[in-house]
Amino acid sequence: MPQSLVHIALVVRDYDEALDFFVGKLGFELVEDTYQPEQDKRWVIVRPQGEGTASVLLARASNEHQAKFVGDQAGGRVFLFLRTDDFWRDYSDYVDKGIEFIREPKQADYGIVAVFKDLYGNLWDLVEFTDGRD
């Protein structure tokens, strides 16, 4: 049976500040922003521009326990991997927009990669694969 990963939930402090970052700075597309009155929350989906099918569900922390994990969903490891078809274009754009890179660009056997923080401190790889992998 064919399957695919559709959404990855990212716990955020506030929907609108998260949208400002993901849409305004990273250039993601807003797919959906629907209020759910029965739970007093929003269903907010963003995804990178391009052919990929996975998207990010921006899930506002709804209690103190969840709030503890905002910015630390992977215990300090790189959590998400953003593939690009032009590393230097996107890297330069992100630097110009104030995105904080904590590991500078590095050429590896598989391509070029750098690590950046999202607005909460989660770590992301910006990567352009040059060895044919996805």
Instruction: Dump pLDDT digits (tens) for 38-78.
Output: 999 999 999 999 887 799 999 999 999 999 999 999 999 99
The residue range of the domain holding 36 is: 1-70
| Measured CA distances, 60 to 11, 15, 76, 80 (Å) | 6, 6, 20, 18
96 shares its domain with 65: no
Average pLDDT, the chain: 95
Chain segment 30-47, per-residue pLDDT in tens: 999 999 999 999 999 999
4 shares its domain with 63: yes
Residue 69, pLDDT score: 95
Where helices occur in 28-106 by DSSP H, the ranges are: 64-67, 87-96
- Confidence tier at 27 by pLDDT (50, 70, 90): very high
**CATH classification of the domain holding 91:** 3.10.180.10
Task: Assess whether pLDDT exceeds 90 at residue 2.
Answer: no
5 shares its domain with 66: yes
- Give the separation between CA 90 and CA 93, rounded to whole angstroms: 5
118 shares its domain with 62: no
Of 35, 54, 70, the residue that ends a domain is 70
90 shares its domain with 103: yes
Contacts for 107 with CB less than 8 Å, ≥ 6 apart = none
66 shares its domain with 76: no
Domains contained in the chain, number: 2
Which run of H or E residues covers position 18? helix 15-19
Q: Which tokens belong to 21?
A: 């970052």
Of 41, 70, 99, the residue that ends a domain is 70
Q: Which tokens belong to 9?
A: 């939930």
pTM: 0.92
99 shares its domain with 36: no
